[in-house]
Structure 1
Amino acid sequence: MAAGGKRIRPRLLMGAYEALGGIDERVAVDAACAMELLHIALVIHDDVIDKDLMRRGEMNISGRFASEAMLRGTTRRDANAWGEASSLLAGDLMLTLAHSLLARLDIHDERRQAVLDVFDDTVFESAAGEHYDVWLSMRLQQATAQDVLAMVDQKTAAYSFQAPLILAAILAGSTTSVIDELTAIARRIGVIYQLRDDVLGLFGDERETGKSTISDLREGKETLLIAYARSDVAWAEVESLFGDSALSVADSRRLKRVIEESGALVFVESFITERCDEVYQLVQEAALPAALKSQLLTLTSACNSRVS
């Protein structure tokens, strides 16, 4: 689970800490590692919730443990239970280790308490976002664009972008005004990142993303694309296909065609562009070091243009 990846969160924390004048590299490294461990924990638990056995084209923890149990002769049901139990425990251990790293930082008690408060708030908000995501996927209510954006803000923006930036600012001794500016910027970048991820999940190149462009449709994943497409009259013709775990390739093409022809893809792309413009303006107006401004602008552009 920890191999590969872009290391967005630890790199963001390290870069921001240095740009804000932080000088204790050991403290920054430990905090950056804690952010990566939190990411791994949430990913592991997310796979359990989604009952996924694969991630990025390879077996995840559940898949590997389940496969091993199957080879030893147990039933598929018991093997899957063993895989899920292994993942839950692994995720719990990652969370505990992340918290331990932050609790042991060699910094003043007041600053350590502020760091731990941010971490606690981040875990709580991320869990709430995940919980909301599962609720929306049950389709007991029709998810609106506002519902989806609220979920994305909690599930992705909080831990992937806000937490690394705020922790870096706290550790570097930044002012409250700087923290407030970084919070506003981070939340918007997080939404850009997730909306691009959702677009790639349906219309990306599987060779680049390492992810099937059918899985989100089979899962019935509620995204801004889907929320918009529902407003089109043609959605009624394919609604029964959305969330079908046995969705065929041919039917997935029908679904994606309706989504695209509804104008959903154009709408989401324009929404991403608007959020990017907001971030660019906020960064330019913020009282932040030039190096950090450059980092945030580059990050925003990368989140928008990424293909994997």
Structure 2
Amino acid sequence: MTLISRAPRVEASVLDDGLVPRLHQELEEFLAHAPDTAPEVGGALADLVLAGGKRVRPTFAWWGWRAAGGPVEGPAADATVRALVALELLQGCALVHDDVMDRSATRRGRPTVHTAFAARHHRGRWAGDSRHYGDSVAVLVGDLALAWADDALAGAGLDPAALARAREPWRAMRTEMIAGQHLDLLAGARREESLEKALRVARLKTAAYTVERPLHLGAALADARPELVDALRSYGRDVGVAFQLRDDLLGVFGDTEVTGKPVGDDLREGKRTALMALALGLARTAHRPHAARLLRDCLEGHGVSDRTVTEVGELLRDLGAVDAVEERIGSLVEQALRTVDLVEPAEPVRLALGALAAKATERRW
């Protein structure tokens, strides 16, 4: 049973668990029409996208559609649901490339694409460098995901006027995703410690393409009035940044069963997160040079063992950085919900956006 035929359940459950079989169907169609040289690359992408995930972006896009008066059922709703597959493919592109840049070994509890292909090269004793081969194939898998995302949106059967309206948020989402990723790389290269810059990365790398632009896309498909689009985007920026702040906390304190990645990976990778920027500022204010030095060593990736992860976690709590991030998450969510209330959406939409904000920022998703 596809997502389209189960559209009414979206209203009741908020999360649309019918997206997975629909995505299977779409990807199978893509694979069936792929050139003979593409099955391994396409198969790796299909495995990643179908392996799990929270389907956050399609869900927010659906509620952008509903907020603007888009129907639950009918041809327009069916085409909109098909278009949402593009968001999962775009996410696949981001994940594959992000894992290469971060040198991540696992994703969703499985080897990352570049790791899996490097291992295949090594087992086969093929010519050349295994790591280079794995990275190269991962680049192709990510590129294919981006190409298929465009194909999914263009081929969803949208009304020509709706497809034209979708172009603005779709173009912006792809560009902002790449800009945010570049800023993240730049922060590490320049050894930046600024909270303001860390939040800017969160705004572009996560908030824009996770919440803000999916909402914008869904609303645009339903021909939303400008003031509603502005309100949804404002809500999306706040909830999206809060989502990233929660991710920062999970990167240090999270459960591998929830995150799909080893606990402490952000510390081992020297991530320049808002959490670490806040902690450094608090260490300086409290005149604790040893604490500041330990935090900087983590940012530089100097000997971050399991013991170091535990020690830094305790330090982040002791400095008050964890409490400060939790407080900011709460403030952002409250501000987002106030913004939504100002445009007085229908009761089901208002309740759904409230529930989604809680799920995204408390990570019960």
TM category, shorter: over 0.9
Q: Report % sequence identity.
A: 30
Distance 1:208 1:79 in 2: 30
The structural deviation recorded for 1:19 is 4.6
From the superposition, tell whether residues 71 and 245 of structure 1 become closer, same or farther in structure 2 (CA, over 3 Å).
farther
From the superposition, tell whether residues 72 and 245 of structure 1 become closer, same or farther in structure 2 (CA, over 3 Å).
farther
Look up the match of 2:329.
272
Give 1:8's aligned amino acid: V
Asked if residue 31 in structure 1 is aligned to residue 83 in structure 2, the reply is yes
Gaps of 5+ in 1: none
The structural deviation recorded for 1:228 is 1.2
The Cα offsets for residues 224-282 of structure 1, whole Å up to 9 and x where unpaired, read as 11101112024334132433264211122222222221111111011111111111211
Q: Indicate if the aligned counterparts of 2:239 and 2:361 stay in contact, CA closer than 8 A.
A: no
Q: TM-score, normalised by structure 1?
A: 0.93
Look up the match of 2:344.
287
The structural deviation recorded for 1:153 is 0.4
Distance 1:122 1:209 in 2: 24
Asked if residue 21 in structure 1 is aligned to residue 69 in structure 2, the reply is yes
The structural deviation recorded for 1:110 is 4.2
The structural deviation recorded for 1:108 is 4.5
RMSD: 1.9
Distance 1:141 1:242 in 2: 8
Q: TM-score, normalised by structure 2?
A: 0.79
Give 2:52's aligned amino acid: G
The Cα offsets for residues 104-131 of structure 1, whole Å up to 9 and x where unpaired, read as 3434544322312221111111111100
Asked if residue 4 in structure 1 is aligned to residue 52 in structure 2, the reply is yes
Give 2:117's aligned amino acid: F
Gaps of 5+ in 2: 1-47
Q: Indicate if the aligned counterparts of 1:13 and 1:28 stay in contact, CA closer than 8 A.
A: no
Distance 1:143 1:243 in 2: 11
Look up the match of 1:221.
271
Q: Indicate if the aligned counterparts of 1:283 and 1:297 stay in contact, CA closer than 8 A.
A: no
Q: Residue 262 of structure 2: SS of its match in structure 1?
A: coil
After superposition, residues 123-202 of structure 1 pair within 5 angstroms as 123-138=174-189, 140-202=190-252
Distance 1:150 1:131 in 2: 12
Q: Indicate if the aligned counterparts of 1:66 and 1:79 stay in contact, CA closer than 8 A.
A: yes
From the superposition, tell whether residues 207 and 243 of structure 1 become closer, same or farther in structure 2 (CA, over 3 Å).
farther
After superposition, residues 84-95 of structure 1 pair within 5 angstroms as 84-95=135-146
Which of 86, 100, 103 is the matching residue for 2:151? 100
Count residues in correspondence.
306
Q: Residue 83 of structure 1: SS of its match in structure 2?
A: helix
Look up the match of 2:18.
none
Q: Indicate if the aligned counterparts of 1:242 and 1:255 stay in contact, CA closer than 8 A.
A: no
The Cα offsets for residues 134-172 of structure 1, whole Å up to 9 and x where unpaired, read as 11122x243211111111000011111112211111111
